[in-house]
């Protein structure tokens, strides 16, 4: 009966306010928004909070930024816009997921490089075990994502650098829910399993170039799968 009370962050409030103005027609398609500094003063907020709100709105195609020309309200389909279900939380999650993937694309290739250099026989066995669990859980969707996440964490552990382990654990936990949805697609899960196998084989060969190549390819496919899922949701 009772629901948790969520404290809105500043940029969430900004997103909601701008969306409300769009719904009411007080902000119109093609209209230029006030300069960032002026708008921050009017809203009594920091410019960093305002920029975060802009990123969320831009990711949803509600506003567009033009180099040297400020930000403008996109041309919107009024009929669809008026009946569209809007959730700030959904927008923030979608925006944040891309940020986490960008970070992952920056540090995971380095992780597999170090794993190629430093992995012991015991580390290799642990990675193989993680892959085996993924294979065994192929028909149990509720366990698949956990197994997939563990594979990446175990590779991070093979670097013997606790900072990388912590970074990987935090990252996979943050996108756990959306990965669960992606991995419910049997075809994508089987494809992901193949990609993981290729990463493992490259690490076993101590082939850093190949391991990085396979990791980047895997992350690219993950990103594309998530974007497609978001567009269809």
Residue identified by tokens 């809105």 is 8
Distances in whole angstroms, Cα of residue 66 to Cα of each of 29, 73, 82, 133: 15, 11, 26, 48
DSSP 8-state class, residue 66: E
CATH architecture of 96-232: Up-down Bundle (1.20)
Sequence spans of domains, the chain: 10-83, 96-232
Triad 106, 111, 116: Cα angle to 5°: 140
- Asked if 10-83 and 96-232 have one fold, the answer is no
Instruction: Yes or no: say if 15 and 91 are a contact pair by the CB < 8 Å rule.
Output: yes
- CATH 1.10.10.10 assigned to 10-83: yes
Query: CB–CB of 99/210 below 8 Å?
Result: no
pLDDT tens for the chain, 233 residues: list them.
444 445 567 877 888 888 888 777 788 888 999 998 899 899 988 888 888 888 878 767 788 888 777 888 886 655 445 444 444 445 545 666 778 888 999 999 999 999 999 999 999 999 999 898 888 777 665 554 566 778 999 999 999 999 999 899 888 876 766 666 666 677 888 898 999 999 999 999 999 999 999 999 999 998 888 777 767 66
């Amino acid at each position: 009966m009772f629901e948790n009370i969520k404290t809105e962050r500043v940029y969430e409030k900004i997103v909601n306010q701008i969306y409300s103005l769009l719904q009411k027609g007080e902000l119109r398609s093609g209209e230029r928004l006030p300069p960032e500094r002026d708008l921050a003063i009017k809203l009594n907020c920091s410019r960093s909070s305002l920029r975060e709100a802009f990123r969320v709105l831009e990711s949803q195609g509600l506003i567009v930024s033009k180099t040297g020309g400020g930000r403008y309200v996109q041309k919107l389909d009024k009929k669809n816009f008026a009946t569209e279900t809007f959730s700030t939380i959904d927008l923030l999650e979608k925006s944040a997921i891309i940020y986490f993937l960008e970070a992952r694309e920056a540090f995971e290739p380095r992780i597999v490089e170090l794993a190629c250099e430093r992995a012991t026989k015991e580390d290799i066995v642990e990675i193989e075990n993680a892959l085996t669990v993924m294979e065994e859980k192929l028909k149990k969707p509720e366990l698949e994502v956990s197994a997939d996440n563990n594979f990446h964490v175990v590779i991070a552990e093979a670097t013997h650098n606790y900072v990388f382990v912590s970074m990987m654990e935090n990252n996979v936990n943050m996108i756990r829910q959306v990965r669960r949805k992606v991995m419910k697609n049997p075809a994508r899960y089987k494809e992901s399993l193949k990609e993981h196998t290729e990463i493992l084989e490259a690490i076993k060969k101590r082939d850093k170039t190949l391991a990085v190549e396979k990791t980047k390819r895997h992350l690219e496919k993950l990103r594309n799968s998530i974007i497609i899922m978001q567009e269809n949701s």
